[in-house]
Chain A
Amino acid sequence: MSCLPTVAESPAERRPNPFRGRTNVVVALVVGAVWSAWQLDLRLVDLIPSQHGLDVCLEFLSRALTPALSSEAEFVPANAPPFLVTVLEAAVTTVAFAAAAMGVAVVAGLVLGFLASTAWWSCVFPRGSALAHVSFGLARTVIALMRSVHELLWALLLVVAFGASEIAAVLALSIPTAGTLAKIYSELIDESPRDAAFALQAAGGTARHVFCFGLLPRALPDMIAYSFYRFECALRASAVLGFFGYGTLGLHLYQSFVSSNYGEVWTLLYALFAVVIGFDLWSGAIRRRLIG
């Protein structure tokens, strides 16, 4: 039975009074919020925008229904492509960066996720060797380090270390994504329902059969659904990378904002919404079909 970690007992058995723990947590959150406001020196007065801020806000909002269809810049080079073509190109670049990053992240996430799951080591290499222990610990550490640095910081780090290039942006997106995917994959595999696995074991399946045909297929729908959700996050992160000079939607959003061309900003925002919300709805539909 060593291959199948026992499922944790039900929460009701462990905790006679579920509300005591929760009350403490809520009190801690409220205290934390008050301390935070003090630490950040936040005053409610600052929530009233200055006259300048109000002007910017009104001017910005007034263009919501009249997004720009051509460039609003005062000087447009003669050979510049039409504005809408620029927007489309930026949207395509945003998707391309995210897709390329997800390709790497899913492969790396699967490898690291297997290495960091208890079920993998106990099923596929049942004799707990020293190598298994070291690999397991190493995978966990690498995952934590990949996850704990933000995409934009990875981008800065890679640019400083290797110089600016498109591949640096793709790697910056894929490193934390791979770490997160690996963490979730390993948890899903370890926590997947054991019914099929027990049945396979009772029928005389080897440990490897139990893992590949008992555990993995039960975790797969959740893994796919989560990967789609991560793709959506990668799209947002990819758009923001434009603030650091890459040709995604963020680059043009930034430029249009600082030159106060709010019509252009709205066009770009609608393009961003189309990409992200379109993907949101799509991944929602897939999630419903896979998990129900």
Chain B
Amino acid sequence: MSPRVEQLWRRRPRDRFVRWSFGFIVLLVSVAWIAGRFSLADLFGERRARNWDRFLAEIRPAPLVGRDWDWGTFLDWGATIMRDRGLDAALSTLAISILAIVLAACLGAVLSLGAARNFATADPFGCVGRISTGSKWFWRFVYLGTRVGLIVMRALPEYLLAFVLLLIFGVNGWPVVLALAIHNAGILGRLDSETIENADPTPLRALCAAGAGRRQMAVVALWPTVFGRGLLYVFYRWETCVREATVLGMLGVVSLGYWIDDARTRDRYDEFVFLIGLGVVIVLFGDLISALARRLVR
């Protein structure tokens, strides 16, 4: 290495915290693999191989068992499943994800105001001047409370949240929709608040100087500035929502997951794999719509 390159190398940005974190993660992964009871042999043993052969035999569509492959019969079989429950379950899965993400977007937009460091303070954008101690403490409380609230909302896995809400609301669509909405509002709220914190403060200072109140600033200046980016985040999260909505059905609500679990408990692995395939189609469809919508928003 030439001296110049060596000099550059020595001056590369270094951060002790990041290095230690990185080292710790590598250690954690190694310990997990060495001390954990994970062994690839569990997948490739002789018994596993027999299991695999049995599985391959069982996923052959029922009308085709013991016969040559025939696309006509296969399509008839698939169409029957779709008519019986597949189509309705697929639509319900999409419905759960759409309603959940719309609720999450609204809730997240409101909560993001309380979690934005530059807005949830006694002196937003530095134009109020004299601040009373009471209002300082009040806004500190609002800021911390919202932050903690958002962090707890996104720390709870959707599946667990839906399980708890089902115990409270009984079996209908709400628990699943609300569980997805709460978790995603936690994520969207944080992302929106970061966007607010990075927003250009000049127009807000001008508004404030002109005597605008907090509510006016939020509606007239803050939301419009973060709107585009917020909408992008909404669609990114929606893709995840579609995936989750599929699975949450396993708790007993009629989305695709319900019928996937139903097929599994009836040992009908042909239908099980078919319905998982239908899930893949829905998710890819969601990704496509989301990509189109994001292009429109940009």
A residues with a Cβ closer than 8 A to B are: 11, 15, 18, 21-22, 24-26, 28-30, 32-33, 35-37, 39-42, 46-47, 49-50, 53-54, 56-57, 60, 95-97, 99-100, 102-103, 144-145, 147-150, 152-153, 156-157, 160-163, 165-168, 170-171, 224, 228, 231, 236-237, 239-240, 243, 250, 253-254, 257, 272-273, 276-277, 280, 282, 285-286, 289-290
Contact = CB atoms under 8 A, between A and B. Distances in A.
Contacts of B167: 53, 56, 257
7 contacts: A33-B98, A33-B99, A36-B94, A40-B177, A103-B30, A153-B260, A168-B42
Interface stretch (B60-68, B115-123, B152-160): B152-160
B170 interface: yes
B163 interface: yes
A100 to B, nearest CB: 4
B168 A56 contact: yes
B160 A250 contact: yes
Contacts of B259: none
A217 to B, nearest CB: 9
Nearest to B280: A148
B100 to A, nearest CB: 9
B247 interface: yes
A217 B92 CA distance: 44
Nearest to B292: A25
A252 B95 CA distance: 31
A160 B40 CA distance: 17
A164 to B, nearest CB: 9
A42 to B, nearest CB: 5
A71 to B, nearest CB: 21
Residue from A32, A41, A168 having most chain B Cβ neighbours under 10 A: A32
B297 interface: yes
Interface residues of B, number: 79
Interface string B218-247: 000000000110010010000000011011
B15 interface: yes
A235 B177 CA distance: 22
A39 B32 contact: no
A171 B39 CA distance: 11
A156 B37 CA distance: 19
A166 B170 contact: no
A99 B296 CA distance: 38
Given A99-B32, A100-B33, A148 B279 contact: yes
A212 to B, nearest CB: 14
Contacts of B28: 95, 99
